[in-house]
Amino acid sequence: MIVTPKFRGFICTTSHPAGCEYSVRQQVEYVKKQKRISGAKKVLVIGASTGYGLSSRIAAAFGCGAATIGLFFERQASGNKTASAGWYNSAAFEKFAREEGLYAKSINGDAFSNEIKEQTIELIKKDLGKVDMVIYSIASPRRIHPVTGEVFNSALKPIGSPSTVKTVDFHTQQVSESTIEPADEEEIRQTVAVMGGEDWDMWMKALKEADVLEQGAVTIAYSYVGPEMTHAIYRKGTIGRAKDDLEATAIKLTENNKDMGLKAYVSINKAVVTQASAAIPVISIYISVLFKVMQDMNIHEGTIEQMYRMLNDRVYSGDMKLDEKGRICMDDWEMRPEVQAEVARLWAEANNENIREISDIEGYRKEFFRLFGFEFDEVDYSADVDIDVKIASIE
Ligand code: NAD
């Protein structure tokens, strides 16, 4: 089949298998060129198929030589409907890992459910015995509580008062302002239930009870802070409340598991284009401007550079360089005063006439389509491809 992008706003409903494979290969090649990391050996990645989770899996496997179990919620191809990008990414990852002689197995299902937790634990017991690192990288709009069955939906809204934000439609490159009404208490509660720390906590309890965590294991979840101009919608909004809860969970997990020396961290990662971040209104214009500024300063990073740096320079370097709240700060380059001063200056000026000069809006658009395997010069999009790609470890 010839696969072309079919998109609506920040959603692309088709993915290109060869393009996704190419994109995973690029990440693998990047890590293979770096110094080997003496670190994790058996890693569970929850949310392993796209964005930060996929890059964490690649950095652990090809950087540390780790065996990985990857868990995700993706769609396989059916009829003439392509699989989701995360499905193709995971098929490619397993292929490259096996070529390298690395153990790699995947589980596709709802990580929030008890059933998938049990299935994962069984697989760890059977194949790895125990794991020494657990990465928690879920981004989801919805969660079904495994005990009560309550369905929670997350909201991306400010808290307290309405917020007027600049945003850009990266397809049309039109800048506009829109006002987002504040969330009510119920929306805050539901967002915290989806993106806060409860499920991470449930995972770690289940893994500990099943005795599949090595003594001194490390677990890391991901968060974001960002500059003042994004705070109303992000850090001081509903999603920020969820991240406060996630960060508090890290402290609690370390405290409550001293007996086995578990170390739980939150890593504050840089703003990048992923399926999750594309859904946040103010973030598209912020990232477009940020990319240009960081590229001009030669300090641009994507997810793979960040995740390799996190493992090599922080987690397994002997010096985590934690901030005053005990967090790993991978946003250190993004938050440099000179970067933020320039972003703030350009951001204030952004309008329809100058958006192409003052930001990398074209780069943003390209990155968005690359998440789905499109826009790579090296891939022949006129070629017929088999969309029914199997993930080696999934029947
Ligand atoms: P993403 O959308 O690329 O990845 C989400 C992953 O979660 C995918 O592997 C998906 O399959 C999986 N997933 C979603 N629902 C699931 C479910 N019910 N069961 C199993 N798997 C499920 O997102 P991302 O941007 O890489 O986000 C990962 C984490 O990084 C989030 O905590 C996010 O807040 C954080 N983060 C992102 C950015 C950014 O700019 N993108 C910056 C800092 C921190």
For the stretch 1-58, pLDDT in tens is: 999 999 988 889 999 999 999 999 999 999 999 999 999 999 999 999 999 999 999 9
Q: Is residue 25 part of a domain?
A: yes
**Can you tell me the distance from the alpha carbon of 375 to that of 383, in angstroms, rounded to the nearest whole number?**
14
Task: Confirm whether residue 104 is marked as ligand binding.
Answer: no
State whether the beta carbon of 139 lies less than 6 angstroms from ligand 1.
yes
Q: Please name the residue whose Cα sits nearest to atom 18 of ligand 1.
A: 110
Instruction: Give the tens place of pLDDT for each residue, 170-214.
Output: 888 888 888 999 999 999 999 999 999 999 999 999 999 999 999
Task: Please report the atom of ligand 1 found closest to the CA of residue 269.
Answer: 43
Q: For the chain, what is the domain count? A: 1
- Asked if pLDDT for residue 281 goes beyond 80, the answer is no
**Can you tell me the distance from the alpha carbon of 242 to that of 250, in angstroms, rounded to the nearest whole number?**
13
Q: Is residue 349 part of a domain?
A: no
Q: Is residue 318 part of a domain?
A: yes
265 noted as active-site residue: no
Task: Please report the atom of ligand 1 found closest to the CA of residue 54.
Answer: 9
Q: Is residue 197 part of a domain?
A: yes
**Can you tell me the distance from the alpha carbon of 219 to that of 197, in angstroms, rounded to the nearest whole number?**
12
**Whole domain around residue 260: which residue ranges?**
8-142+185-274+300-331
Task: Confirm whether residue 51 is marked as ligand binding.
Answer: yes
- Asked if pLDDT for residue 240 goes beyond 90, the answer is yes
Compute, in angstroms, the gap from residue 51 CA to the centroid of ligand 1.
Answer: 6
- Asked if pLDDT for residue 127 goes beyond 90, the answer is yes
**What single-letter DSSP state applies at residue 259?**
G
State whether the beta carbon of 277 lies less than 6 angstroms from ligand 1.
yes
pLDDT band at 270 (very low <50, low <70, confident <90, very high): very high
Residue 104 confidence (pLDDT): 98
Q: Please name the residue whose Cα sits nearest to atom 42 of ligand 1.
A: 271
State whether the beta carbon of 274 lies less than 6 angstroms from ligand 1.
yes
Task: Confirm whether residue 343 is marked as ligand binding.
Answer: no
**Can you tell me the distance from the alpha carbon of 133 to that of 145, in angstroms, rounded to the nearest whole number?**
25
Helical segments of the chain, H only: 17-33, 51-58, 64, 85-99, 114-123, 185-195, 198-209, 228-231, 238-256, 283-296, 303-309, 337-349, 355-358, 361-370
pLDDT band at 169 (very low <50, low <70, confident <90, very high): confident
Residue type, position 356, single letter: R
Exposure string over 162-176, b if 16+ CB within 10 A, otherwise e: ebebbbbebeebebe
- Asked if pLDDT for residue 318 goes beyond 90, the answer is yes
- Asked if pLDDT for residue 340 goes beyond 80, the answer is yes
**Can you tell me the distance from the alpha carbon of 123 to that of 100, in angstroms, rounded to the nearest whole number?**
21
Compute, in angstroms, the gap from residue 222 CA to the centroid of ligand 1.
Answer: 9
Task: Please report the atom of ligand 1 found closest to the CA of residue 271.
Answer: 40
Residue 350 confidence (pLDDT): 87
Q: Please name the residue whose Cα sits nearest to atom 24 of ligand 1.
A: 51
Q: Is residue 56 part of a domain?
A: yes
- Asked if pLDDT for residue 132 goes beyond 80, the answer is yes
* CATH number for the domain that contains residue 198: 3.40.50.720
Q: Is residue 358 part of a domain?
A: no
Mean of the pLDDT values across residues 315-335? 97
Task: Confirm whether residue 49 is marked as ligand binding.
Answer: yes
Compute, in angstroms, the gap from residue 351 CA to the centroid of ligand 1.
Answer: 30
Task: Please report the atom of ligand 1 found closest to the CA of residue 72.
Answer: 21
**What single-letter DSSP state applies at residue 139?**
-
Average pLDDT, the chain: 96
Residue 146 confidence (pLDDT): 98
Q: Is residue 200 part of a domain?
A: yes
Residue 166 confidence (pLDDT): 85
Task: Confirm whether residue 30 is marked as ligand binding.
Answer: no
Q: Is residue 150 part of a domain?
A: no
Which one from 234, 265, 286, 364 is the annotated catalytic residue? 234
For the whole model, what pTM was predicted? 0.98
Compute, in angstroms, the gap from residue 141 CA to the centroid of ligand 1.
Answer: 10
Task: Confirm whether residue 88 is marked as ligand binding.
Answer: no
Task: Please report the atom of ligand 1 found closest to the CA of residue 223.
Answer: 44
Compute, in angstroms, the gap from residue 219 CA to the centroid of ligand 1.
Answer: 16
